Structure 1
Amino acid sequence: MKLSHKTALITGASRGIGRAIALALAQQELKTLILVARDRAKLAELATEIQSLSSIEVIVLPLDLTQIKAVNMTVIKAWRQHGPIQLLINCAGVAHQSSFLQTNPAQMEAEVSLNLMGTYTITRLIAKRMVHQQEGTIVNVSSLMGKIAAPTMATYSATKFALVGFTQALRAELAPENVQVVSLLPSLTDTDMVRGLKLFRLVKPMTAQKVALALVAGLKRGKEEIYVGWQSYLALLCQRFAPWLLELILSIAAPMPRKRSKFVWLFR
């Protein structure tokens, strides 16, 4: 995909990976960046930073993706005023960590509402218009946890697995309309969201900047699935050729009492 002179919309742009992607795309000679998130102040701060580095037009859209009516109205208006949009990057997401048996139903609902339904809502609106113009690229930011489920992250893993399936289905459906659909699957990334979680043993977080640069490179090469870092490739190889070993590693690495893992008992 050629990025120059395109209009891109990024959800979850106020922090973490979304913010890093916005800064990376600002160096690619885009025409317009539309930044979407709930935090108006952080979006304004990011817009000022981008405009100090580039002549790109930056539009700030404070928006809660779980509010369907507001999303419909805002996206339609943004398309009319700043479109057409050639690149949609769905990065908004939330993660809560706990053992499944101690899951807070409100937190579970929040993860499903934003990670899955929020992505579905805005993607449907923009994909329809991309099909009409016969051009576009949609990037769904999933996670390595969308391929390899992690203990203590059951709901988050479920939403990210769902995003992978959603992406694969859309890829097949929209390809005849010249709309590409891409998965970005980073492993553990050092963001403010992750800093509130108990980290997995043996896993070294990568930077959000590294994830953003991998996305830009992957888009330019036309990749359908973009993984970041050697840990991701190693985990996927292990899952394919030695799934029992991966399960053992996850049981050891997971931030939960060792006595709960059947493998610890086996290897005492």
Structure 2
Amino acid sequence: MNIQGKTALITGASRGIGRAIALEFAKQGAQRLLLVARDRQRLAEVAEEVESLGVEVVTLAIDLGQPVAVSIAIAQAWRDHGPIHILVNCAGVAHQAPFLQTRLPQVQEELATNLIGMYTITRLIARRMVAQQEGAIVNVSSLMGKLAAPTMATYSATKFAILGFSQALRGELAAHNVKVVALLPSLTDTDMVRNLQWFRWIVPITPQRVAQALVAGLAKGSNEILVGWQSHLAVWCNRIAPWVMEKILLLAAPLPRNQRKPYPELREAGAISR
């Protein structure tokens, strides 16, 4: 899909990857961008940057966890600003903790934002895209949607779910000329992850690189867009020798040394392979 002349709605647009995608779409000649986030002030700052590139901007300061408010906002935006050609579901949160130390409110927040919020807005816009027989939906998953990692159990679960959701939706909407794409960045240097304990040996990528990979993937017609050589290497390794990749993830995780010992199944798999 060519970005030029299109109208795109981007959630989580006030910072990080969402902000970078908004700026990259503007550089690629998008006609209009609808930017969604909860932080009104940050949205205004991003809108100012986008407008400086000559692109019309509409800001929607809404909480995706409020279905009624989201429904009203989308209906008004579609009525006032015309059809939306591209939806980018980028809003997300991440909490890090060993599973036995996780707190239910944080788990609920991840599920509500990463999954329920995405479902809510996607359902509203997908119906309209089907009616106009045109559109593209981009769901931002993660490398952790392919490889679950210790200390990120719920986050990984939501990102795996986004891949499954995208695959199912792709099959259902293909006949209506609506494309569904999953974007899978690896560790990205954003505000969201700076307070997390990073995994050993992982080199973070920039949000700008993720946005550029998305534009390139849309132009190629890709269904899944992996970002960065580390992502491709990790997925390849997981296909060839999943037990090795699982051991690497365990060793790389920010866990105390006594919790990073390979568990029996991995030791047995290693012995068998030798």
Shared fold per TM-score greater than 0.5: yes
Gaps of 5+ in 2: none
Cα deviation, 1:124-155, whole Å, max 9, x if unaligned, reads 00000000000000000000001110100000
Partners of 1:159 and 1:247 in 2: CA distance: 19
Say which is worse superposed, 255-264 or 111-120, in terms of deviation. 255-264
2:243 match: 244
Partners of 2:29 and 2:233 in 1: CA distance: 34
2:18 match: 18
2:7 match: 7
Amino acid at match of 2:114: N
In the alignment, structure 1 residue 83 sits paired with structure 2 residue 102:
no
2:119 match: 120
Gaps of 5+ in 1: none
Conservation of the 8 A alpha-carbon contact between 1:258 and 1:264: no
1:40 match: 40
Partners of 1:189 and 1:29 in 2: CA distance: 25
2:62 match: 63
Conservation of the 8 A alpha-carbon contact between 1:252 and 1:264: no
Aligned residues: 266
In the alignment, structure 1 residue 136 sits paired with structure 2 residue 135:
yes
Misfit runs of 4+, over 3 Å: 264-267
1:103 match: 102
TM-score (norm 1): 0.97
Conservation of the 8 A alpha-carbon contact between 1:188 and 1:206: yes
Partners of 2:69 and 2:263 in 1: CA distance: 49
Cα deviation, 1:61-118, whole Å, max 9, x if unaligned, reads 1010011111111111111111200000000000000010011100000000000000
2:205 match: 206
Give the RMSD, CA atoms, in angstroms.
1.2
* Identity within the alignment, %: 64
Partners of 2:89 and 2:10 in 1: CA distance: 6
Cα deviation, 1:147-190, whole Å, max 9, x if unaligned, reads 11010000000000000000000000000000000000000000
Cα deviation, 1:221-267, whole Å, max 9, x if unaligned, reads 11110011100000001100011110110111000112113328969
